[in-house]
Structure 1
Amino acid sequence: MRHVAVIGSGPAGYYSAEALQKAFGDEVRIDMIDRLPVPYGLIRFGVAPDHQSIKAVSRRYEKVALSGNVRFVGNVTVGRDVTVAELQGLYDAIILATGAPDDRTLDIPGSDLPGVVGSAAFVGWYNGHPEFADLEPPLDVEGAAVIGNGNVALDVARILSKTPVEFVGSDIVAHAFEALGNSSIRRIHVLGRRGPHQIAMTPKELGELGHLSDAVPSVDLADFPPEGDDALLEPGMRKSVTHLRVFASLPQDKKKVIEFDFFAMPVAIEGEGKVERLVVERTRLTEDLRSVGTGERYAIDCGLIVSCIGYQTPPIEGVPYEHGRGRFANSDGVIGEGLYAVGWARRGPTGTIGTNRPDGFEVAETIAATLGPGDSGKEGGSGLDRLLGARRVDVVTFQDWQKIEAAEAARAREGSPREKFVQIAEMLGVRSGA
């Protein structure tokens, strides 16, 4: 019997567990360790609450979780409750699937002013992440700026623009639903350093902005290259740019405007004790498509700035780390003997949810080829249970999670699939019946 610990229970973790099952059959026991009492990581806390079809992939992960050789070990923090070195003594292999939950910092003057929020924090706030439930972003302002030209920036702009009715069917948490319903924001700037042909926005997500009831997207066609140049783009990008061109012809007759600022580089944030404006420098593209400043500056009046400039994986003591890339140091997913990384912890924050699946299968094949059949004599889960029990760690099982999930469904507002608990103590209380 082989024993493998997977640290993290998001998409990368579950794809890895699924791959290990296929590689080893019944001759493997897999413990999925997560610092939170609830599984699914990015699916629960990262995917936008109005994208329920994407969240449905959790049903695939549930099938894996309910397998006889997979355990969910929740509410356990590696590095605090148990060290990597201790896990290496208990398991034949360890897979780090921790994702990239931390924001990259916006390193410009004024970025520490109240009103500047990272996308991980803001998305976590409206998705009910326990660490960000008390964020209280300033929504009593007319202007907001979203820095970034990827799908996360689109999610943030869309969520800021929706009416309460448009959240029917979503699982946006109650505190965010109420705050957004009372929002005073009327103009949302979406800023990118480069132009329309360099965005990282997918067609479906971009197209949604053209169908909002109270908000309209706005672009300046002067920022675009000749329309014939669109033919040089790959099909998905071409569809995205077509959406942007269509936005230019939409009547600007709604309460809110989502304004795309291309060739715009944030250089400073100003305000007396809080965010009041964002200073932006216009850019141009070099021959190799890098953006460089032109020296021309303008200011955007705003009281909220959401920085969507990327994520990074938090280091873990004893694990080699690439600080410049915000990920664990690895070669094709191999960190060292018996230690592996998958997903964003391996690659950095790139790709879609499905991109994590090949990572998991590649690493599982590497582990199978390295270990081969047999039994190392390591304790695996029983040793972990003994260690955590001695330290009085309050472990949450998958069956406990199912109780939490059922309670969330029971308390949902009309039209919503669930009302998430946003405090760990509430989750643990439901599990124990308190």
Structure 2
Amino acid sequence: MSNPAADRPLRVAIIGAGPAGVYAADILTKAEREFAVSIDLFDAYPAPYGLIRYGVAPDHPRIKGIVNALHKVLDRGDIRFLGNITYGRDLTLSDIRSMYDAVIFATGAIRDADLDIPGIGLEGSFGAADFVSWYDGHPDVPREWPLEAREIAVIGNGNVALDVARMLSKHADDLLTTEIPENVYRGLKASPVTDVHVFGRRGPAQVKFTPLELRELSHSRDVDIVLYPEDFEFDEASDAAIKTNNQTKTMVNTLTNWLVEEQDTGASRRLHLHFLHQPVEVLGEDGRVAGIRFERQELDGTGNARGTGEYVDYGVQAVYRAIGYFGSELPEVGFDARRGVIPNDGGRVLDEAGQPVPGIYATGWIKRGPVGLIGHTKGDALETIGNLLEDRLNLPAAERPEEEAIIELLAERGIEYTTWEGWLKLDEHERALGAAASPVQTANGPVERERIKVVPREEMVQISNK
């Protein structure tokens, strides 16, 4: 094994241009070192930002700040973005390793975790990740979504569950100030929904969402929040968490305040928050969702829940499971099918024998699983980059390390890739679409549209490369 030449930059490929990939690239460029680095950031989508563009609700309160931070990193010009390139199809691992000294996988986790209960496969039962992809204008999902239910169950007590519930219950006109695509606005506008129920397995002190996400629920116009006194149970572990954790204390205070406040304002839609409910079966009629059955739970003193033997049914016509994301296996790279991650030690990818594979690394959710907030990926990236730099002298040197080698290969294969300059064109185009459609007359009065997101992949590529 030979180490990369000392008289040229260290060539690094990062697969995935979401927060994990961008943070890794940024940390590598800023690391203390006595050698140059050259980084190419690849993504399967024509546009950068990954989860921020295609996995977060368009009205998410923090989305603009995160996008601005990622934009600043990529706009510096020292990291090259190459989009519309699918790893495993357009480029193989052998291709990448021949042109880079190291490769970092930052592909995230984009599919729904399974919920193994009877009836989960009925028509009208959906994964939250698929719904999020639809309302975020993912280029590879159908343009229409079956929004036919008046009563909907959302299973889960994390931020994604709240995003999904908020998007389902919110009036479409109130989303026009976001980058919501036209097809999504039309679909949500026609939705007949009246009640959205969010179910968690444990108590109010064990929820996994954050205070900001919780408070955001109360900002939806003409939507009542409904809670139930019988769901407010606190054990010794709950009391300890409330006393020692400010976030838990804030959320419990918010929920209990809502509980004692007047809930019925006569709003046309209601968002119900239920706790201590374990789903056991999705009920069907003629092959479609007709309800959902839960076993009531009780806390066991440690903050965990156990069944009471009491069952309760809710009549709903759609079920969304938001119990977590799960990673997808990548060609030519090991995969832990139980955890949904690439096997690794501190970001160093491991082979079947548990030994590090020289020059291959992972960061973000594909490294540690889909837990934590976006900001946690910075710590992940710092660890991975630290280990990569520690390994530098033992990395297998690229055969064709020149920066134009990858461009020549893409051209040779006829792959229509996009660039950062192309993204700036698309960004400007989407903003212009928003300006041209403004102001929009809504029930709340005229609103300005900041942008309208372009959805079709071919159109995104065309605009980027014109």
Q: TM-score, normalised by structure 2?
A: 0.87
Q: Cα RMSD between the aligned structures?
A: 2.2
Q: Corresponding residue for 2:315?
A: 301
Q: Which amino acid aligns with 2:378?
A: R
Alpha-carbon distance in 1 for matches of 2:118, 2:409: 46
Aligned to 2:428: 406
Q: Which residue of 2 aligns with 1:115?
A: 124
Which runs of no fewer than 5 residues in structure 1 stay unpaired? none
Does residue 1:417 correspond to 2:450, yes or no?
yes
* 1:429 and 2:453 are equivalent in the alignment: no
Equivalent residue for 2:88? 79
Q: Provide runs of 4+ in structure 1 moved above 6 Å.
A: none
Q: How much does 1:226 deviate? A: 5.4
Equivalent in the alignment of 2:16: 8
In 2, are the aligned partners of 1:94 and 1:339 still within 8 Å (CA)?
Answer: yes
Separation in 2, partners of 1:280, 1:29: 54
Q: Separation in 1 of the partners of 2:115 and 2:424? A: 38
Task: Please say if residues 277 and 302 of structure 1, whose CA atoms lie closer than 8 Å, have aligned partners that are also in contact.
Answer: yes
1:250 paired residue among 247, 261, 264: 261
What are the within-5 Å matches in structure 2 for residues 13-412 of structure 1? 13-23=21-31, 24=33, 27-51=36-60, 53-138=62-147, 140-225=148-233, 229=239, 231-251=242-262, 252-253=264-265, 254-271=267-284, 272-335=286-349, 336-372=357-393, 376=397, 378-380=399-401, 381-412=403-434
Paired residues of 1:85 and 1:318 also in contact (CA < 8 A): no
Contact 1:26–1:69 (Cα < 8 Å) also in 2? no
CA distance in structure 2 between the aligned counterparts of 1:161 and 1:250, rounded to whole angstroms: 20
The number of equivalent residue pairs is: 432
Residue identity opposite 1:71 in structure 2:
R
Q: What is the deviation of 1:366?
A: 1.6
Summarize deviations over 1:193-252 as a string: whole Å, max 9, x none: 111111011111111222322111111222223599374350011101111111212321
For 1:369, what is the secondary structure of its paired residue? helix
C-alpha displacement at 1:422, in angstroms? 1.0
- TM-score under structure 1 normalisation? 0.94
Q: Distance in 2 between matches of 1:280 and 1:374?
A: 53
| Paired residues of 1:133 and 1:422 also in contact (CA < 8 A) | no
Matched residue, 2:3: none
The 3 A distance-change label for structure 1 pair 250 and 185 is: farther
- Whether contact under 8 Å (2:102, 2:395) holds in the other structure is no
Structure 2: runs of 5 or more not aligned: 1-8, 350-356, 439-447
Mapped to 2, the partners of 1:226 and 1:387 lie a distance apart of 61
| CA separation of 1:90 and 1:175: change in aligned 2, threshold 3 A | same
Contact 2:101 2:395 in 1 (8 A): no
Question: Is the 1:128–1:173 contact (alpha carbons within 8 Å) kept by the matching residues of 2?
Answer: yes
Using the TM superposition, give the Cα deviation of residue 5 of structure 1 relative to its aligned residue in structure 2, in angstroms. Answer: 0.3
Residues 155-191 of structure 1 show CA distances to partners (whole Å, capped at 9, x for unaligned) of: 1111122223422421122222222222211111101
Post-superposition CA distance 1:355-385 (Å, at most 9, x none): 1112112222221221159994542443322
Q: Partners of 2:399 and 2:185 in 1: how far apart? A: 48
Tell me, yes or no, if the aligned pair for 2:173 and 2:189 is still in contact at 8 Å: no
- Distance in 2 between the 1:302 and 1:96 partners? 40
1:52 Cα deviation after fit: 5.3
User: What is the alpha-carbon distance in structure 2 between the residues aligned to residue 25 and residue 107 of structure 1?
Assistant: 52
State the shift of 1:428 in Å.
1.7
SS where residue 12 of structure 2 aligns? strand
Report the 3-state secondary structure (helix = DSSP H, G, I; strand = E; otherwise coil) of the residue aligned with 1:283: strand
